[in-house]
């Protein structure tokens, strides 16, 4: 796996100080898919205090310190390095209720959302894939790590993230994972609207009509205006779809510009209400 020199330098410094350090998450997934990663996150056995000492000669960003994250400013941008950790649920729908630092990489990977995001890579140790993410990538399958209902209860935003990943990469959602997404959908109601908008925008901008159809029930949980459009016959010889199907087809035809796609997504939501 190619790792930029400024990231590799930080990893080597931690390793030379006696602390494991791994590139983790999306960068590993993208590399295995043949996609050039846009950013590199790392995790390490070093505590936040040890990282601050090891990088005392560097400019640091410490906004995430209580959650174990130290940002190191490099010529390529800020590289976030997080101590191996487990965490509790998200009662405020934004931050974990508690964080406990651990010594083992596997415990850290076990808290992550989907198997394809629960892989890590070390130039000194190779690929770590305790939950079968590489095989799921090969099979085009999106599967939650461990108990899927528990993953979505911890953070319901993962439900929308699952829709986004499935649409972006053309993954099928593993049946138990999909069932849990629907069963835990009420958790979406408590999320901070800013978090919902970020994931929803990502999904809408990469979704095809089929993705919108498959995710329609979950989509309507955050945009209830779309609900009456599903199955609503337009009684119009110029339309071959129901209202929702027409909306989805229009969304797919547009470039992935948020303003355009959201305009298309909502452009006919008034039809069921004013139909005569």
- Report the candidate in 46, 43, 57, 42 with the shortest Cα–Cα distance to residue 18: 46
Q: What gap in Å lies between CA 197 and CA 212, rounded to an integer?
A: 16
Q: Are 83 and 65 in contact (CB under 8 A)?
A: no
Tokens of 193: 């609207």
Confidence class for position 238, pLDDT limits 50, 70, 90: confident
Tokens of 163: 């829709």
Write the pLDDT tens digit of every residue in 138-184: 999 999 999 999 999 999 999 999 999 999 999 999 999 999 999 99
Three-class SS state of 150: helix
The fraction of the chain above a pLDDT of 70, given in percent, is 97
Write the pLDDT tens digit of every residue in 89-118: 666 555 667 788 998 999 999 999 999 999
Tokens of 60: 């640091």
Q: What gap in Å lies between CA 109 and CA 89, rounded to an integer?
A: 16
Confidence class for position 240, pLDDT limits 50, 70, 90: confident
Least confident of 195-204, 227-236, 258-267: 227-236
The residues, any chain, with a CB within 8 Å of residue 268's CB and separated by 6 or more, are 229, 243, 246, 247
Per-residue CA distances from 11 to 2, 16, 92, 98, 124 (Å)? 13, 9, 33, 26, 10
Q: What gap in Å lies between CA 98 and CA 105, rounded to an integer?
A: 18
């Amino acid at each position: 796996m190619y790792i930029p020199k400024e990231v590799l330098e930080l990893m080597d410094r931690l390793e030379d100080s006696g602390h494991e350090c791994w590139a983790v998450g999306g960068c590993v997934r993208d590399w295995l898919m043949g996609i050039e990663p846009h950013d590199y996150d790392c995790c390490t056995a070093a505590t936040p205090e040890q990282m601050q000492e090891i990088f005392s000669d560097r400019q640091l960003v410490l906004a995430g310190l209580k959650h174990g994250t130290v940002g190191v400013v490099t010529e390529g941008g800020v590289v976030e390095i997080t101590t191996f950790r487990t965490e509790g649920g998200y009662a405020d729908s934004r931050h974990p209720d508690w964080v406990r630092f651990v010594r083992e990489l596997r415990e850290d990977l076990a808290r992550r959302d989907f198997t394809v995001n629960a892989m890590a890579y070390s130039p000194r140790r190779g690929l770590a894939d305790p939950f079968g993410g590489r095989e799921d990538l090969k099979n085009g399958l999106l599967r939650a790590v461990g108990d899927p209902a528990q993953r979505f209860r911890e953070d319901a935003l993962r439900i929308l993230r699952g829709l986004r990943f499935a649409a972006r990469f053309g993954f099928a959602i593993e049946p138990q994972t999909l069932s849990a997404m629907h069963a835990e959908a009420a958790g979406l109601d408590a999320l901070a609207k800013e978090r919902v908008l970020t994931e929803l925008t990502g999904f809408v901008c990469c979704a095809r009509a089929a993705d919108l159809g498959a995710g329609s029930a979950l989509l309507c949980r955050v945009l209830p205006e779309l609900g009456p459009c599903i199955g609503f016959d337009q009684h119009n010889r110029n339309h071959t779809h129901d209202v929702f199907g027409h909306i989805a087809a229009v969304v797919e035809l547009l470039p992935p510009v948020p303003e355009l796609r959201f305009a298309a997504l909502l452009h006919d939501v008034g039809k069921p209400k004013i139909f005569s």
